[in-house]
């Protein structure tokens, strides 16, 4: 597989607010590589979350194309996009999105079962991935019995369990204190380096920059700055993200 995981061009998106249209993304070009953590930073309203929604198949852009794992994402039918997300994408949100009635193991098992993994194998894989994020002693706890940092680790375990090639994290540390935030981003960095996933993180948190391979700054629907901190995998063209003025 090519080390280029996502290659998007000409992404534009506007929302209708009353009688006016607000342009949220303005002809944005973006790419991400396997094995790297790409952080998208910028003020609220800059278009960060809308961009990853377009990149991950959650929200169709008004214009532009997204090549994800070499496939034209928005040329697919809706059911095909949903299946692509299930098979290839992991999601981590600031609100954790855990089911209150399920313990940590069941949260992960449920996702694996949706992917067609048999029950016993799903439980074995769920236990292993929860242990890998430091929750081996919390397998039977429900969300109400877990700290914020532990809840986010369950969410990461759930995202990692199906071994996705693309992981999208939207403000994954915003509800956490500094030490837990550092743990979470280190786990994401490990997923990139050890599993070869392409990790795209939207964040306001400047403390996370030390763990990024690449930092992209957005403002007013455009990419203003694209800084590669570590080189992309060899023999792959470095198509820097950009947006038209």
DSSP of 59-106:
S--SEEEEEETTEEGGGS-HHHHHHHHHHHEEEEETT----TTS-HHH
Where is average pLDDT lowest: 73-77, 78-82, 206-210? 206-210
Domain boundaries defined on the chain: 4-98+164-243
d(CA 101, CA 98): 9
Query: 3-state class of 8 per DSSP?
Result: strand
Maximum average pLDDT range among 180-184, 214-218, 240-244: 214-218
Helices (H), the chain: 48-55, 78-88, 104-114, 119-132, 148-161, 178-195
Per-residue confidence (pLDDT) for residue 238, from 0 to 100: 40
Helix (H, G, I), strand (E, B) or coil at 189: helix
**Residue 218 near residue 47 (C-beta atoms within 8 A):** yes
pTM, two decimals, is 0.87
Task: Say if residue 78's pLDDT is above 50.
Answer: yes
| Residue-wise pLDDT tens digits, 3-40 | 899 999 999 999 988 888 899 999 999 999 999 999 99
CATH of domain 4-98+164-243: 3.40.50.300
- Region 115-140: mean pLDDT is 92
């Amino acid at each position: 597989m090519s080390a280029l995981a996502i290659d998007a061009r000409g992404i534009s998106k506007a929302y209708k607010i009353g009688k006016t249209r607000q342009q949220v993304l303005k002809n944005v070009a973006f790419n991400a590589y396997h094995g790297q953590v790409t952080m998208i930073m910028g003020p609220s309203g800059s278009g960060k979350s809308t961009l990853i929604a377009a990149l991950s198949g959650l929200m169709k852009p008004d214009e532009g194309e997204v090549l994800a794992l070499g496939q034209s994402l928005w040329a697919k039918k809706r059911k095909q996009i949903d299946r692509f997300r299930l098979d290839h994408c992991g999601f981590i949100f600031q609100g954790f999105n855990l089911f209150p009635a399920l313990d940590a193991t069941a949260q992960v098992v449920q996702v694996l079962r949706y992917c067609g993994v048999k029950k016993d194998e799903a439980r074995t894989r769920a236990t292993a991935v929860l242990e890998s994020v430091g929750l081996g002693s919390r397998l039977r706890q429900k969300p109400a019995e877990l700290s914020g940092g532990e809840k986010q680790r369950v969410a990461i375990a759930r995202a990692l369990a199906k071994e996705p090639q693309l992981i999208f994290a939207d403000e994954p540390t915003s509800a956490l204190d500094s030490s837990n935030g550092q743990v979470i981003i280190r786990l994401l960095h490990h997923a990139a380096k050890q599993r070869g996933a392409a990790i795209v993180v939207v964040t306001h948190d400047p403390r996370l920059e030390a763990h990024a391979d690449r930092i992209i700054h957005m403002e007013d629907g455009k990419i203003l700055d694209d800084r590669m901190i570590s080189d992309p995998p060899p023999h792959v063209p470095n198509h820097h993200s950009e947006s038209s003025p």
